[in-house]
Amino acid sequence: ALTKRVTCASGHITANAACCALFPIVDLLQEQLFDGAECGEQAHSALRLAFHDAIGLSVHGGNGGGADGSILAFNSTELQYHANGGIDDIIADQFPVFLQTNLSAGDFVHLAAAVGTANCPGSPRLEFKFGRPPPKAPAPDLTVPESTDTVTTILARFADAGFSPRETVALLSSHSVAAADVVDVTIPGTPFDSTPDTFDTQVFLEVLLKGKLFPGNGSQPGEVLSPLAGEMRLQSDFAISQDPRTACIWQAMVDNQLLMQIAFKAAMAKLKTLGQPSNLIDCSDVIPVPAPFKTAIKYPASFSKEDVQIACHLLPFPSIATVAGPAPTVPPVP
């Protein structure tokens, strides 16, 4: 089959001339938002922002415009919602960059998420579709799930936005490049796995390890015992890992980088276009190619299969090596 190719004035090659305008914006994002293509806090938060924007939609209608950038354009409303705690920082970082572009808020938020995620080694190269119209109104409150919610509530909210339990677990791969600032405000930047700068399956393993401690100021709402000093475990991640509706999907991700990449990429493609016109232009080739995850995941030092709270008995548990030495303390994301 013939693939259409356009060479932009800048020399970049893309599938559609309309995408040429995006290459300089990708460079702008890398320089001004992502500290020169890092998988750091801004990249993590740009991904979270895309989720909190897009999930504001119901397939039954009347619940917001989905992936429309409403969270950026109507931030004074949406930032008041409890579930958007901590989102103020990335809005403040993105807004001045957004104003230097002529993109719609939706295109900006979802381009930034794809570029930021690409900075994380091991991530799939996410799609980017171009041409979202400006958002019409803020999303209503209570569309974003919270870590205090039950699995039933969470799966019902995702289903209402069009996602199956399998897609929901796939989207939670994002917690491999993630940290919490507001779950326990005494320990900002506390990651959900020991490798928050790598998009690996470490989070699916570590959430299954026996909990021992709370990393900061005791037990907070939406937090449960973590296996490692310096690591935060969300109650919702743990509950989803143990629930019969999701446990085997969760466990299947452990040490299966390719499955995670394929499932996350597909679910994100859906998320990033929720509620948007079907005639968006495919500009996926403006997204940088992520570095590969070259090694294998390991148990953190001192852990082994003995410590895994296996909740799926239909699948064999993969055989995984252990890092040598004493149990680590996971450093915060700076």
Q: Catalytic residues, which ones?
A: 52
How many Å apart are CA 221 and CA 111, to the nearest integer?
32
- Is 170:264 a contact under the CB 8 Å cutoff? yes
User: Looking at 43-51, 122-130, 248-256, 290-298, which segment touches ligand HEM (CB under 6 A)?
Assistant: 43-51
Regarding 308 and contact with ligand HEM (CB under 6 A), the answer is: no
Regarding 176 and contact with ligand HEM (CB under 6 A), the answer is: no
Regarding 183 and contact with ligand HEM (CB under 6 A), the answer is: yes
How many Å apart are CA 76 and CA 81, to the nearest integer?
10
What phi, psi does 95 have (nearest 5°)?
A: -60, -50
Regarding 154 and contact with ligand HEM (CB under 6 A), the answer is: yes
Which entry of ligand HEM, Ca ion, none binds 241, CB below 5 to 8 A by partner kind?
Answer: none
**Nearest one of 122, 114, 158, 142 to 268, comparing CA atoms:** 114
* Contacting residue, 86, 121, 162, 211, with ligand HEM by CB under 6 A: 86
Distances (CA, A) of 96 to 84, 233, 305, 334: 20, 33, 48, 22
How many Å apart are CA 52 and CA 66, to the nearest integer?
9
How many Å apart are CA 54 and CA 67, to the nearest integer?
4
Regarding 238 and contact with ligand HEM (CB under 6 A), the answer is: no
Nearer to ligand HEM, 14 or 236 (CB): 236
What phi, psi does 33 have (nearest 5°)?
A: -110, -40
Regarding 45 and contact with ligand HEM (CB under 6 A), the answer is: yes
195 known ligand binder: yes
Which entry of ligand HEM, Ca ion, none binds 172, CB below 5 to 8 A by partner kind?
Answer: ligand HEM
Which entry of ligand HEM, Ca ion, none binds 47, CB below 5 to 8 A by partner kind?
Answer: ligand HEM
Which entry of Ca ion, ligand HEM, none binds 246, CB below 5 to 8 A by partner kind?
Answer: none
How many Å apart are CA 100 and CA 132, to the nearest integer?
18
Give the binding site for ligand HEM (CB under 6 A): 41, 44-45, 47-48, 51, 86, 145-147, 154, 171-172, 174-175, 177-183, 222, 234, 236
* Binding site residue list: 53, 66, 68, 70, 175-176, 193, 195, 200
